Structure 1
Amino acid sequence: MSDQEPSESAKRALGTQLKELRRDTNLSGVELARRCGWHKTKVSKIEHGAQIPTEDDIRAWATACGVEGQIPELIAVSREIEQMWTDYKRWHRPGIKRLQFQAMDLYAKTKLLRAYESLFIPGFLQTVEYAKAQFTIHAKLHGLPLDDVEEAAQNRMVRKRFLGTGAPIFSFLLEASALTNNTGGVEVMSGQLDHLLEVMKLQYVSIGIIPQGRVRSLYPGEGFYLFDESLLKQEFWSGAFQTSRPENISHFVRVFAALRDQAVFGTAARSEIEAARSRLQGT
């Protein structure tokens, strides 16, 4: 996972939008700052995404540019940017044990959940042993109590009650590399691969594997979860990102479709899992 915050691009996009409003009104940055009663450097910082405008800043900006009618839309964009990124220090405040229950209502109301992972097995498909190994790595990375790992892994298993019910329907895409990134040791991985084979038999669950060495029409990328066409979630080294912006959702719907075109399913997917097992046992 990379360490770049995706919300940074959204901040710059808002700054660019405000800059265009200023230019459309033929206002210089200095004149806009004067009308708003700001230091002249504030306009530049906002336009370059270095400073997030407050809601009062947005109102003053739009008023100075004579576009008061755009204030509600601009404020809505600003509010979403604030909610896009959660650093792990803040995200971990409830503890990793309780975090496993936070999205249960979201899962329950989702009709179609699409998930792509390139590095590891998605939480919905994990065995408790794999989850413990993953949480141990995560806890050590972020300085969290190792005593919470066992309960966090057990709590993660609760979400698996949604699998096979049709509420939601699940569509998983995994890079073959996610099957061989050795998390917890060969025995843990062997059990995890066995579990994948069992889950593949469930109704309303689709698991596709993108084979290694396949000529790519779209390169591998960060894992993501799509909840219907209303919410996108991603996790990175330093925090979690989410957005409901339609343009972002539609982009990732296209990404998922392109990745799915490269995946294999059914017998071919099971063969990829067995090939991964052979590679792991050979290490």
Structure 2
Amino acid sequence: MPPSPSSAAQAAREAVGRRLKELRLDAGLTVVELAGRCGWHYAKTSRIENARTSPSAEDIRLWCRACGAEDHVPDLVAASRNAQSLYTEWRRTMRTGLRRLQESYTDLFRQTRLFRVYSSRVIPGLLQTEGYATALLAGVARFHGAPDDAPAAAAARVERSRVIHEPGHRVTLLIEEAVLRYQLGDSAAMAAQLGHLLTAGALPAVSLGIIPAGLPDRPIRPHEAFHVYDDIVVAVELLTARVTVTQPSEVALYLKAFQELRALAVYGADARALIIDAIEALP
């Protein structure tokens, strides 16, 4: 089972703290002595070393100067910024609206050769119709108190998703059967979305698997939605944040989880039958 999605961010912070502690010890300084040279309380030194506080770029510069290790500043500042960026709060990224958030992923999508996507709650963005995406994003904007530009954001999402029609990209998507029954928008919008799954799932570059709801004693439970880009980066979607996982050991666990979930799914005619059943069940 994959670790807590925030663990990659925490591990990155801890790595920066350990490196700063090593510099202090190499310089022969106590926690109190380093704090005195930097001009702050010694408790701050302890919080930074134990990854309870993220150091600012200025904190790192002062620390390295105190230790006579100023050549380490660029690498440590870069590592600290990367650690902070691994955990991105939705509200911060949504402040300028959801359209820009959608567009910010365009380069990543174009660079990715192999997408692996698992979703337990909604149709994955790569296969969303504009009507479905508009209903979904309007709800997201309302919940997070973000500017409601859902129609423009949905159009940007659909435009971004055209990458699946371009040569050189392969997409493997897994969804739980329950996703087909969670209605977003009116019945017409939901029917159009489910119909689009029937069409998109038949594309040569797309593999769509659906995990049936009635599986007895399944070996791996439903998880939070996650996207794997070229076996290098995993993006995990939480209620409050998008967590980026890059640590190879954690990426490997997400890949393992994806393979186990993939083994539970049905494909082809069996998957189409589940989609048709969901369409027929619409009010």
The TM tier, using the shorter chain, reads 0.7 to 0.9
1:125-148 deviation line (CA, Å, top 9, x unaligned): 1111111111221121122344x2
User: Shift of residue 53 of structure 1?
Assistant: 2.2
Quick one: distance in 1 between partners of 2:247 and 2:157?
A: 28
User: Shift of residue 117 of structure 1?
Assistant: 0.9
Instruction: Select which of 87, 92, 97 maps to 1:95.
Output: 97
- Structure 2: which amino acid aligns with 1:231? V
Distance 1:58 1:219, change over 3 A: farther
Which residue does the alignment assign to 2:232? 230
Instruction: Select which of 43, 46, 64 maps to 2:45.
Output: 43
Which deviates more, 22-31 or 100-109?
22-31
Quick one: distance in 2 between partners of 1:217 and 1:72?
A: 46
SS in 1 for 2:103: coil
Instruction: Select which of 142, 145, 152 maps to 1:143.
Output: 145
Which deviates more, 83-92 or 204-213?
83-92
Which residue does the alignment assign to 2:246? 244
- Structure 1: which amino acid aligns with 2:133? A
SS in 1 for 2:121: coil
Distance 1:75 1:135, change over 3 A: same
Which residue does the alignment assign to 2:174? 173
User: Shift of residue 100 of structure 1?
Assistant: 2.7
Which deviates more, 61-70 or 229-238?
61-70
**5+ long unaligned stretches in structure 2:** none
- Structure 1-normalised TM-score? 0.81
Tell me if structure 2 keeps the 8 A contact 1:176–1:211.
yes
Quick one: distance in 1 between partners of 2:226 and 2:19?
A: 29
SS in 1 for 2:193: helix
How well do the aligned residues superpose, as a CA RMSD in angstroms?
3.3
Tell me if structure 1 keeps the 8 A contact 2:64–2:73.
yes
Which residue does the alignment assign to 2:193? 192
Tell me if structure 1 keeps the 8 A contact 2:23–2:69.
no
**5+ long unaligned stretches in structure 1:** none
Quick one: distance in 1 between partners of 2:221 and 2:21?
A: 33
Which residue does the alignment assign to 1:127? 129
| Matched residue count | 277
- Structure 2: which amino acid aligns with 1:155? A
Quick one: distance in 2 between partners of 1:124 and 1:85?
A: 22
Distance 1:79 1:247, change over 3 A: farther
Quick one: distance in 2 between partners of 1:250 and 1:235?
A: 18
Which deviates more, 6-15 or 125-134?
6-15
- Structure 2-normalised TM-score? 0.81
- How high is the sequence identity, in percent, across the aligned residues? 36
Tell me if structure 2 keeps the 8 A contact 1:118–1:222.
yes
Distance 1:258 1:57, change over 3 A: farther
Quick one: distance in 2 between partners of 1:21 and 1:216?
A: 46
